[in-house]
Amino acid sequence: MDYYKRIRKEDKEIYKAITGEEKRQAEGLELIPSENYVSRAVKEAMASSLTNKYSEGYPGKRYYGGQEFTDQVETLAIERAKKLFKAKYANVQPLGGANANIAMYFALLEPGDTILGMDLSHGGHLTHGHPVTYLTKIFNFERYKMKNVETGEIDYDEMRRTARRIKPKIILAGFSAYPRELDYKKFVSIAREVGAISVMDIAHIAGLIAGRAAKNPFDYGFDIMTTTTHKTLRGPRGGMILVRESEEIAKKINKAVFPGFQGGPHMHQIAAKAVAFGEALRPSFKKYAKQIITNTHAMEKVFKKHKARMLTGGSDNHLILLDVWKSFGISGGEAEKLLDRAGITLNKNAIADDTRKPMDPSGIRFGTPALTTRGFKTKEAARVAEIMIEVLTARSDAAVKRAKQEIKKLALAHPIPESFK
Query: Under a CB-based contact definition with an 8 Å cutoff, are residues 277 and 240 in contact?
Result: no
Any idea what the Cα angle at residue 237 is, between residues 233 and 243, rounded to 5°?
Answer: 60
DSSP string, 84-151: HHT-SEEE---SSHHHHHHHHHHHH--TT-EEEEE-GGGT--GGGT-TTSGGGGTSEEEEE-EEETTT
Instruction: State the first-to-last Cα distance of the chain, in angstroms, to the nearest integer.
Output: 21
CA atoms within 13 A on the CB side of 82: 14
Give the residue numbers marked as catalytic. Answer: 54, 56, 201, 228, 231, 237
Exposed/middle/buried for residue 248 (C-beta within 10 Å: 0-12, 13-18, 19+):
exposed
Beta strands (DSSP E) in 194-343 are 197-201, 224-228, 239-243, 319-323
Q: What is the rounded CA–CA span in Å between residue 131 and residue 158?
A: 21
Q: What is the rounded CA–CA span in Å between residue 199 and residue 191?
A: 9
Question: Comparing C-alpha atoms, which of 170, 203, 199 is closest to residue 97?
Answer: 203
Query: Under a CB-based contact definition with an 8 Å cutoff, are residues 203 and 226 in contact?
Result: yes
DSSP string, 58-72: ETTEESSS--HHHHH
Query: Under a CB-based contact definition with an 8 Å cutoff, are residues 94 and 229 in contact?
Result: no
Judge if the upstream peptide bond of residue 59 is cis by omega within 30 degrees of 0. no
Helical pair 397-413 and 378-394, crossing angle rounded to 10 deg: 160
β pairing state of 347-349 and 197-201: unpaired
Q: What is the rounded CA–CA span in Å between residue 406 and residue 11?
A: 34
Exposed/middle/buried for residue 214 (C-beta within 10 Å: 0-12, 13-18, 19+):
buried
